[in-house]
Amino acid sequence: MAKTKNAKPKIIDIKPKNGFNFRYLISGAVTVVIALIIYYLTLPPMNVQNFGTWVFFFTVFFVYGLMSVIIAERNNKSLSKFDLTIGGIMVLIVVIALCSALSSSVIFRASSYSKLIDVEECEVGEVLSEDENIDDIALMDTDSAKVIGAKAIGALSDVVSQYVISSEYSTIDFNGKPMKVAPLEYDGFFKYIGNKDNGIPGYVMVDPVNNESSYVKLTDPIRYSPSACFSDYLYRHLTFEYPTKIFEECYFEIDDGGKPYWICPAYEAQVGLFGGKDVTEVVICDACSGDTTLYKTSDVPQWVDRVYDGDLCVQKYNWYGTLSGGFWNSKIGNVGCKTTTDDYGYKVMGGDVWIYTGITSVTGDESNIGFVLINSRTGEAKSFTVSGADEDAAMSAAEGEVQHLGYEASFPSLINIDGQPTYIMVLKDNGGLVKMYALVNVENYGIVATANTEKEVMSQYRKLLKTNSVSGSDSIEAVTEKLVVSDIKFLAVDGSTVVYITSGSKAYKQELSENEALVLISKGDRIEVSYMDSGDSIKELDSVILLQKADELAQ
């Protein structure tokens, strides 16, 4: 018999004697395959506190329902009660997820958000110990670290052709010294395919104090990395090991012996189903072997420096500062509301890394009302009150002192000099190289000192404190001495002429531009010098007075 020309092709709907419709099996099989692919690619945690997990299950049911509808349509079948149940589950997922998100929002739970961090109010000296010397303070920002770190592998042709240095440098305390570390990464998918058997050969360490970098080649290469693929992809490895944990970012660190690890905080919602996520556990993953250990935040090893990310710490403080008086007060009245400034930095103190940032009013002016420091390992938070310039204003003040050179200030660190909260920063040229140092007083950012070395800038700053009669500067002892010049030398130092005077075992110095009368002094002359005794072996002179020439002394 000839086939009808316009006959519509029809899928045979097999229905066994037990009444089970075969299209359910087809829809289920296709859905399982698609669900596994989506899970493998997106890695949603099997945790109801993760909004993405709800999206994943909605997608799974949507795929199943879509397949069921397509097959039913092709077979001219109507939807069954089971199909309608699937649709009802999809609607229920949407309703629960949206209602939970709304009930977890700051609008209804402002008080809960404001209590996610405990902030201890302190005095300046309780948070920042006084800095007698500043030559051991890490001042390098990440941009400069990238420039210096690149030099460490520049000559290694087998490395630079296959790998790149991660842009995510971690600030750590390495055996009592501040350090920045970053792992090498695969330079793309095809470089991973070509090198996955060899792994990642090492990492880069940058000394932010001495502006030096080194490449550390590992005996056992790094196997697990965010730049790897398939089973070597760090987050896939973690998800398969801990399928219910919520991971967001992992941080590269090394232990005291230089062995590389990934520090992977696990989050839990603290407000409702989705709100106020905070770190409750930490997985430490051996970057080479992939071995993992789960810790409570209170049990994390001492060598670990970064459990709480800077963005999280700042966000928690902002909830505390703006929502303590309620949500509507944070939007309308602003009574007692305070927030952090636009950026934050890292400071190594007492073997830990602290996140620090200024506190300002919500009106957003260019002044601070205090500072907060948060321990990135323990989450401990301390703040102190001091009115003054914010970080951007201090950077502008330092740049203004050397505007003729076009140097750019790095984000400052916060230190305590003679009881005065002080910004310290480096000034960089267009190539990102450190050229000068600057100190800016927080309370009076008109007091700015710049110099080519840390010791010189400290000496100049203390002179300015004394000249401006700033409280706390009286702790610096003023000394006047009469002496006979044993020797005097004029040396060029970083583009300036510095005069060095010795008398017996003592040494003094002053820039010629500050006192041109120094050219009148000779060996054997009797002079009177005055300086601020900051404890340096070579005294930075404030003044030099010629009392008697050498030939007069000889008479």
pLDDT at 198 over 70: yes
- Confidence at residue 534, expressed as pLDDT on a 0 to 100 scale: 65
* Residues 32, 37: Cα–Cα separation, whole Å: 9
Average pLDDT over residues 105-132: 90
Number of residues that make up the chain: 555
pLDDT of residue 2: 46
DSSP code for 298: G
Answer whether residue 234 shows pLDDT above 80.
yes
End-to-end CA distance of the chain: 143
Q: Give me the pLDDT at residue 80, please.
A: 76
Q: Mapping DSSP to helix (H, G, I), strand (E, B) and coil, where does residue 515 land? A: coil
pLDDT of amino acid 300:
96
Q: What is the pLDDT confidence band of residue 113, given thresholds at 50, 70 and 90?
A: very high
Query: What's the pLDDT at 541?
Result: 84
Task: Give the pLDDT mean for 2-7.
Answer: 50
Q: What pLDDT band is residue 307 in, cutting at 50, 70 and 90?
A: very high
Q: What percentage of the chain exceeds 90 in pLDDT?
A: 54
Find the range with the poorest average confidence among 137-151, 305-319, 473-487: 473-487
Q: Is 10's pLDDT higher than 70?
A: no
Beta strands 200-207 and 177-186 are antiparallel
Angle at 467 between CA 466 and CA 473, to 5 degrees: 15
Handedness of CA 551, 552, 554, 555 (dihedral sign): positive
Task: For 248-260, write each residue's pLDDT tens digit.
Answer: 999 999 999 999 9
Range list for CATH 2.40.50.140 in the chain: 477-554
What is the share, in percent, of the chain residues with pLDDT greater than 70?
92
Q: Both tokens of residue 141?
A: 């920002």
Paired with 233 in beta bridges are: 225
- Helix (H) / strand (E) containing 441: strand 434-441
Predicted pLDDT of residue 11: 45
Instruction: Name the strand (E) or helix (H) holding 370.
Output: strand 367-375
> Between 494 and 129, where is the model more confident?
129
Scanning 383-521, the segments in alpha helix (DSSP H) are 391-401, 454-467
Q: 421 near 128, Cβ under 8 Å?
A: yes
Q: Which of 546, 505, 515, 510 has its CA nearest to residue 531? A: 510
Q: Decide if pLDDT at 136 tops 70.
A: no
Q: What is the pLDDT of residue 26?
A: 86
pLDDT in tens, 388-410: 888 999 999 999 999 988 999 98
* Mean pLDDT (the chain, rounded): 88
Please tell me the predicted confidence (pLDDT) of residue 132: 63
**How many C-beta neighbours within 10 Å does residue 161 have?**
9
* Weakest mean pLDDT among 213-227, 329-343, 536-550: 536-550
Mean pLDDT lowest for which of 80-84, 115-119, 266-270, 363-367? 363-367
pLDDT for 381 beyond 90: yes
Euclidean distance between CA atoms 6 and 106, whole angstroms: 62
pLDDT digits (tens, 9 = 90+) for 32-75: 999 999 999 999 999 999 999 999 999 999 999 888 888 877 77
Please report the pLDDT score of residue 477 as a whole number: 66
pLDDT at residue 555 greater than cutoff 70: no
Has residue 133 got a pLDDT over 80?
Answer: no
- Sign of the Cα torsion 172, 305, 176, 476 reads positive
Predicted pLDDT of residue 116: 96
Spatial CB neighbours of 502, under 8 Å, sequence gap ≥ 6: 485, 486, 487, 488, 508
Residue 356 neighbours by CB distance under 10 Å: 24
Question: Residue 119 and residue 122: Cα distance in Å, rounded?
Answer: 9
Q: Give me the mean pLDDT over the 539-549 stretch.
A: 85
Higher per-residue pLDDT: 25 or 13: 25
Q: Which carries the bigger pLDDT value, residue 201 or residue 530?
A: 201
Do 246 and 277 meet the contact criterion of CB atoms below 8 Å apart?
yes
Give residue 67's identity as a one-letter amino acid code. Answer: M
CATH topology for 477-554 is OB fold (Dihydrolipoamide Acetyltransferase, E2P) (2.40.50)
99 close to 264: Cβ distance less than 8 angstroms: no
Q: For residue 21, what pLDDT is reported?
A: 64
pLDDT of residue 459: 80
Q: Provide the pLDDT confidence category of residue 535 given band limits of 50, 70 and 90.
A: low
- Of the ranges 88-97, 187-196, 546-555, which one carries the lowest mean pLDDT score? 546-555
Amino acid in position 125 = G
Considering 128-137, 362-371, 440-449, 457-466, the range whose residues carry the highest mean pLDDT is 440-449
Taking alpha carbons only, the member of 336, 282, 346, 283 closest to residue 314 is 346
Question: What phi, psi does 324 have (nearest 5°)?
Answer: -60, -30
| 1 burial via Cβ count (<10 Å: 0-12, 13-18, 19+) | exposed
- pLDDT computed for residue 286 by the predictor: 97
Considering only residues 478 and 369, tell me which one the structure prediction assigns the higher pLDDT: 369
β-pairing, 338-340 vs 345-349, is unpaired
Least confident of 15-19, 50-54, 385-389, 526-530: 15-19
Bridge partners of 439, per DSSP, are 424, 449
Residue 279: what pLDDT? Answer: 97
Which residues, at least 6 apart from 366, have a Cβ–Cβ distance to it below 8 Å? 389, 390, 392, 393
Render pLDDT for 461-518 as a digit per residue (tens, 0 to 9): 888 887 787 755 555 567 889 899 999 999 887 677 889 999 988 899 888 888 888 8
